[in-house]
Amino acid sequence: MEFSHRIQNNVLILSLSGEITEDEVENIIKKVSAFAEKTSGIVVDLEKIRHLDSMGIGILALMYGESEKLRKKLVLCNPSEMVFEVLILSGIDKLINICASLEEALEDFKIVTVKKGLHITHRIENDVHIVSIAGELVQETANEFRGYINTFLTNENFKGIILNLKNTDQVNSAGLGNIIAVQKELQKMKKNLNICCLNQNINRIFSIGLLTEIINIYPNEQKALASFED
């Protein structure tokens, strides 16, 4: 069996081909562990897998166990009809989400419901992480927001972060504190945090908290992104 890997939108994509056998177990698990820590999750592309037996299912179960240890989401995609039937019969679909295509699998990572009242959308453009926050960034959700951001701070191959708060309804002191904490982490890495699209209410909260004096604020995402090219 052969496999290759790449990182797209902060997701590790493992592409497997041939037959999954016992001999490949150690190499696959090592590959997952080595790269998954620096990403938000793992997609295993099964498009080129011709045969999947009980050993192969066992390997996928081991990969799931490893992803759980790393606290990363694992998604399977592109199985052939025959491989899909084996996956369903094994019951592994109850542990691991199976998507019809790679695009659908990556979509699975884009929107993360952190807690009721907070949704995070994340994409990468020109090596900049663009994080859009909808809902409430308050005491109950602030730490979860910080944890999500931390999933890609371990990988230094990016220019900075843009927080798009266009659809943010409420931010309190806990939310402001976590935004400042993210900025400090980025400063240590010599990278910038830009914030854009503040509505009138959120802009007032930022002004009261003096964040407008210490963080770059832009009227729209395009200008916030362009600033990384200056």
Neighbours of 106 (CB within 10 A): 19
Reply yes or no on whether the pLDDT at 196 is more than 90: yes
Q: How far apart are CA 10 and CA 149, in angstroms?
A: 11
Q: How far apart are CA 214 and CA 210, in angstroms?
A: 7
Lowest mean pLDDT among 110-114, 125-129, 152-156: 110-114
The confidence band for 23, taking pLDDT boundaries of 50, 70 and 90, is low
Q: Mean pLDDT for the chain? A: 84
Q: Which domains does the chain have, with CATH numbers?
A: 2-109 (3.30.750.24), 116-229 (3.30.750.24)
Q: What is the mean pLDDT of residues 69-80?
A: 88
Q: Are 17 and 49 in contact (CB under 8 A)?
A: yes
Q: How far apart are CA 114 and CA 166, in angstroms?
A: 18
Q: Specify the DSSP element, H or E, that contains 178.
A: helix 173-188
Q: What is the pLDDT of residue 213?
A: 85
Q: What is the pLDDT of residue 113?
A: 44
Q: Look at the alpha carbons of 120, 30, 14, 21 in this order and tell me if their dihedral is positive or negative.
A: negative
Q: How far apart are CA 225 and CA 127, in angstroms?
A: 10
Q: Which residue has the higher pLDDT, 41 or 130?
A: 130
Name the amino acid, one letter, at 177: G
**pTM of the complete model:** 0.54
Q: Are 138 and 175 in contact (CB under 8 A)?
A: yes
